[in-house]
Amino acid sequence: MVGRGEQPVSEQRPRGVVVGVDGSEAAAGAVRWAAQEAARRHLPLRLVAAVDWAVPAGIGAVDLQPEIFRDAIEAAAQEWLAHARAVAEDVAPELGTETEVRGGVPAAVLHHESETAELLVVGNRGVGGFAGLFAGSVSIAAAASARCPVVVVRGTPTPDGPVVVGVDGSPVSEPALSFAFTAASARGSGLVAVHAWSDSTLDAAGWALLEWDAIEAGERELLAERLAGWSEKYPDVVVTREVVRDNPAAALVSRSRHAQLVVVGSRGRGSVRGALLGSVSQVLLRHAGCPVAVVRA
């Protein structure tokens, strides 16, 4: 089905895994990851190509006719989707896969899709990006404003590695913990719960006055409180607790290099591109060694 303009998503559509497709290698990687995840969760897979129907005034001395331009863009998007469907079917032939070209700015289209999705998946970089350096604007915007969990597929996941979740001690961690335990259970993997507690602005003199043993004991108790009940709900998941004196972002990036997935929470208080996405989330989206799930409170 092809849509030009912002067409409403049917309320009858089952919640599933939605992937943003733009013809890039990063998007193909996102499709592979999403197909595996949809199969694990027994969810439908939806592939969406968002295109802007605005017609440029001209290229050189050639004026483009609106319909010719739109038809060309639509044909390209359909090719992207056909390739993405083939990738998905190669990974999980049993999946029911839906495709659609939607008109609009990609970040806005994906935000709209997230309202009826179980999970939104995007690649690290779009067409023309510098792979591995920085997260693309679309992935940052999606992670900051989506109405469902977002996975940005980047790095190289370790197949037999654990799921890693950042626990900051606040209620924001609860949705992230739920996502992380579900992901670990579905993969048959362990879960590493990381709580970093030395992200301090104190100078050296102030640090010398702190009673580190007492602080660490308190932080361990805080982590135990946040994890209380989850192991009973997921008895098949072996949990490793790590309380570390380190910057939270640095601790999670380090552990991401040997993980299948890193999960972090986000307050998600706005939709300004990246501005209100937590600093830890932003660092992970730029530097993590495996896919990153951002779960809004």
DSSP the chain: -EE-S-PPPPTTSPP-EEEE--SSHHHHHHHHHHHHHHHHHT--EEEEEEE--PPPS-BTTBPPPHHHHHHHHHHHHHHHHHHHHHHHHHH-TT--EEEEEEES-HHHHHHHHHTT-SEEEEES--TT--TTTS--HHHHHHHHH-SS-EEEE-S---TTPPEEEE--SSTTHHHHHHHHHHHHHHHT--EEEEEE-------HHHHHHS-HHHHHHHHHHHHHHHHTTHHHH-TTS-EEEEEESS-HHHHHHHHHTT-SEEEEEE-----STTTTS-HHHHHHHHH-SS-EEEEE-
Range of lowest pLDDT (69-78, 161-170, 224-233, 281-290): 69-78
Assigned token pair, 110: 């994906």
pLDDT reported for residue 87: 97
Q: Name which residue leads in pLDDT, 91 or 74.
A: 91
Q: Which residues, including other chains, have CB under 8 Å from residue 288's CB and lie 6 or more apart?
A: 154, 155, 252, 253, 256, 262
Neighbouring C-beta atoms of residue 101, cutoff 10 Å: 23
pLDDT at 172: 78
- Could you give the CA distance from residue 115 to residue 3 in angstroms, rounded to a whole number? 17
Alpha-carbon distance of 223 to 239, in angstroms, equals 12
Q: How far apart are CA 256 and CA 251, in angstroms?
A: 9
Work out the average pLDDT over 120-132: 63
Q: What pLDDT, in 10s, does the model give residues 212-258?
A: 677 778 888 989 998 999 989 999 999 999 999 889 999 999 999 99
**Who wins on pLDDT, 250 or 14?**
250
Q: Are 15 and 117 in contact (CB under 8 A)?
A: yes
Residues 34-61: tens digit of each pLDDT: 999 999 999 999 999 998 765 455 555 4
Confidence grade of residue 7 (pLDDT, cut at 50, 70, 90): very low
Q: Average pLDDT, stretch 136-154?
A: 89
Average of per-residue pLDDT across 109-127: 89
Give the C-alpha separation, 22 to 30, whole Å.
Answer: 11
The residue-averaged pLDDT of 3-17 equals: 57
| In the chain, % of residues over pLDDT 70 | 78
In the predicted model, what is the mean pLDDT of the chain? 83
Q: Which residues of 17-46 are buried (b: 16+ CB within 10 A; e: fewer)?
A: bbbbbbbbebbbbbbbbbbbbbbbeebbbb
Four-point Cα dihedral 84, 85, 87, 89, nearest 10: 170
Q: Give the range among 46-60, 198-212, 273-287 with minimum mean pLDDT.
A: 198-212
| Mean pLDDT in residue range 291-296 | 95
Confidence of residue 65 (pLDDT cuts 50, 70, 90): low
